[in-house]
Amino acid sequence: MKPPPSHPAPRHRRHVLRAALALTGAVALTGTGCSAGDPHRDHGSPAPGASAGPAPSPGAPGIGDPLMPLDGNGGYTVRRYTLDFDWQAPGTPFAAGTTISATATQALSRFDLDFAGNTLHKVTVDGAPATAERDGDELVVTPAKPIPRGGTFTVHVAYTADPTQRRHRDDAIREYGWVPTPDGTVVCAQPDGAKMIFPADDHPSLRAPFTFHITTPPGLSAVANGRLVERVREPGGRVQWTYDSEEPIAAQLVQLAIGKLTFVAGRGPGGRAVRDVVPDDLVADTEAERSLTPEHLAWLEQRLGPYPFRSYGVLVGDTDLPVALETQSLSLVPKDDLLGDRVDAERNLVHELTHHWTGDSVAVRRWSDLWLSEGHARFYERLYSEEHGGVSMDDAMRAAYEQHDQWRHDDGAPAEPTEPTLFKVMRYDGSALVLYALREKVGDETFGRIERAWVTEYRGRAAGTKDFVALASRVAGKDLTPFLTPWLYGPHTPPMPGHPDWHVDPVED
């Protein structure tokens, strides 16, 4: 996420609920889209590998992240999400359904999903009605029969998606959930806003493949993470678009957009597919900046190794969303981030692209590890910018150094944010400064090897601060714990290696 510059394909089964909707006037989707296995299979028959054990008990309401304890859920792992959206018009509620196929990691008497906003209609588990109660941002689901440990099951949640229900955060994100555009929508699910869009197991360390079925009015297009699998024109002219994420995605990195959109196909280094999605009337005005993507990919691949996903592209948002988002394989960049100064535009583009290595591919294990995602994105954004007409890295880092104790006081040390208003300057320049200090300490060559090892060894996995310190120490051939610990934790910023004249401004209470 970047705040303003001031700081195997699934089987597809058409659902047939539009006719039912028309007949009943109801808004609940009843189809299950594509799902794993027979939705009416009795989950009381354990899947191979399931075992008898402790009596069924409730799954935990969260995975215990100290900053956001209710994010994610215990007792199961999601195998696939299938999202159905029968979209109508900007700012207008519409029928929606989410199908989650999952595997129980304990014998479950009940389990939670993360779900907020919207209007809940009906929940089924393996086709049988389940009891569902909302408790804050938790949706507590009690199936008709307990689910054995190791059992696979399918949950379907029918609801009315309601873009008029918005959430506010006090950090750079501000508004999240459905974000309207003049003729459609984009979404902002960071950091824990997926629950405003679909029921989810919503923590950045948890990911699963997604299938999206999005139905649009005539004349509009839909896009989502991954590749277009099918486009079917329905009687009456509405069109159902099916996308497959191709790779697992954390809920916060989901993107989907609807509008009068142009798909601009290109090629990156090595012939990699690049696909931008742009509001029709912004195609020409953003072409110069968007055409830089192959150059940005080549520059980052030189430093971090191969781009970790199959395709990439920029979704230009015709919105006043104050942030750009590293939504996986399809970064959302608001138009204002592209239409101004070219140096700033490139910083935004390189920032979100860098996240595809750090943040998307290497996910954060806990929210306190966010510095690893945003710090890296800011570090490479600044490094690129220095080489392409922007502020020098040394100048930017010296300015950050001078304010670092104040930021520690205000926002917590880089690896210990003090509150869930995460997206503060300490997670950006304040965390890039830690990487800068590490580079000064170990030298360019060793730093480069640490960085490539980090994104290679943890590709497609979640990793945390201890993992980074251990990997850096191993690659450097010396224990960097005594060096990195005061940089990452505690109230005072240590001296900057190689810059004895740099000083930290004292903190004012």
Report the interface residues with Zn ion, using CB under 5 A: 1-2, 374, 377
In the bound state with Zn ion, the residue whose beta carbon lies nearer, of 149 and 427, is 427
In the bound state with Zn ion, the residue whose beta carbon lies nearer, of 2 and 335, is 2
Which residue is associated with the tokens 């580079």? 439
Least distance from C-beta 162 to Zn ion, angstroms? 28
In the bound state with Zn ion, the residue whose beta carbon lies nearer, of 455 and 475, is 455
Backbone φ, ψ for residue 431 (5° rounding): -95, -35
Q: What angle in degrees, to the nearest 10, is found between the helix axes of 429-442 and 465-476? A: 20
Q: In this structure, what token pair is assigned to residue 2?
A: 């970047």
Least distance from C-beta 436 to Zn ion, angstroms? 17
For 79, the 3-state DSSP assignment is strand
Distance CA 361, CA 308 (A): 7
Least distance from C-beta 459 to Zn ion, angstroms? 19
Alpha-carbon 269 to chain mean position: 25
Burial class for 160, CB neighbours closer than 10 Å (0-12, 13-18, 19+):
middle
Least distance from C-beta 319 to Zn ion, angstroms? 17
Least distance from C-beta 199 to Zn ion, angstroms? 26
In the bound state with Zn ion, the residue whose beta carbon lies nearer, of 100 and 300, is 300
Least distance from C-beta 303 to Zn ion, angstroms? 17
In the bound state with Zn ion, the residue whose beta carbon lies nearer, of 18 and 366, is 366
In the bound state with Zn ion, the residue whose beta carbon lies nearer, of 335 and 355, is 355
CB 143 within 8 A of CB 43: yes
In the bound state with Zn ion, the residue whose beta carbon lies nearer, of 79 and 296, is 296
Q: In 10 A of CB 130, how many CB atoms? A: 19
Q: What DSSP state is assigned to residue 94?
A: E
Peptide bond before residue 497 is cis, with ω within 30 degrees of 0: no
Distance CA 187, CA 206 (A): 19
Closest CA relative to residue 50, chosen from 151, 152, 154? 151
Q: What DSSP state is assigned to residue 496?
A: P
Which residue is associated with the tokens 């697992």? 248
Least distance from C-beta 252 to Zn ion, angstroms? 12
Q: Count how many Cα atoms sit within 13 Å of the Cα of residue 459 in the half-sphere of its side chain.
A: 13
In the bound state with Zn ion, the residue whose beta carbon lies nearer, of 257 and 324, is 324
Least distance from C-beta 461 to Zn ion, angstroms? 19
Distance CA 289, CA 210 (A): 30
